[in-house]
Amino acid sequence: GDSVTQMEGPVTLSEEAFLTINCTYTATGYPSLFWYVQYPGEGLQLLLKATKADDKGSNKGFEATYRKETTSFHLEKGSVQVSDSAVYFCALTSGTYKYIFGTGTRLKVLA
Amino acid sequence: DAGVIQSPRHEVTEMGQEVTLRCKPISGHNSLFWYRQTMMRGLELLIYFNNNVPIDDSGMPEDRFSAKMPNASFSTLKIQPSEPRDSAVYFCASSNTGQVPYEQYFGPGTRLTVT
């Protein structure tokens, strides 16, 4: 079945450092890919999405490119801030209601 | 738009008591999801409704759990009787299946503690 694998956390970075959170997937067909972010005490919020190969999703300085050849959707940000501290979830859906979520990666940014 | 609304935000109850969690989806959305989040198991889909009809309840852990959606603007998740292992954060999410891909919008969650 479909699956999503995220890098284990926590990831601890200093402010203004470069961020990469790896995400790879297994799916039949052509899934849509998402990154969700969960701030402490809150629900998940959609951060960005990509619906076909080579699409780049971007929002709030975060980017991720849908790479079909490597079945990856890595999240990147050039300069993280303390306010980016949160848990990040990679997810996919293959055109149905069902989302497959990764286990989440906790990011901690130090001032 | 008010977003998905859940109540209560926090619930503390004793083992054996009935617990009811409530959700109001985003107006115009026709799909509703209940999830449970724990450290051990991550995010689990409990049940999915489409147009108020339960479509997939395969994630409901056992008969103690039940969910209803009497109309398009309200859903409940009930646990009776509750047990300590039910302690978790329960999220409601909604989406509009008329828009592909089906982006899910999550509520703030209900943190349930069963003592």
Tens-digit pLDDT profile for residues A14-63: 999 999 999 999 998 889 999 999 998 889 999 999 999 999 999 999 99
Average pLDDT, chain B: 93
What's the DSSP call for residue A72?
B
Q: Which of B4, B97, B107 sits opposite A97 (nearest CB)?
A: B97
Q: For residue A22, what are the β-bridge partners?
A: none
List of residues 6+ apart from A45 with CB closer than 8 A: A36, A37, A38, A39, B106
pLDDT at B102: 76
Contact B25, B73 (CB under 8 A): yes
Q: Contact A43/B109, CB-based, under 8 Å?
A: yes
Q: Identity (one letter) of the amino acid at B25? A: P
The 10s digit of each residue's pLDDT in A79-88 is: 999 999 999 9
Euclidean distance between CA atoms B101 and A32, whole angstroms: 7
* Residue of B23, B44, B49, B102 for testing the chain A interface, max A β-carbons within 10 Å: B102
CA distance B82 to chain A (A): 23
Residues A51, B101: C-beta atoms closer than 8 Å: yes
Rounded CA separation B68/B78 (Å)? 9
A18-32, B32-46, B76-90, B96-110, range with the lowest pLDDT:
B96-110
- What is the Cα–Cα distance from B98 to B115, expressed in whole angstroms? 42
Which residue of chain B comes nearest to A35, CA vs CA?
A: B103
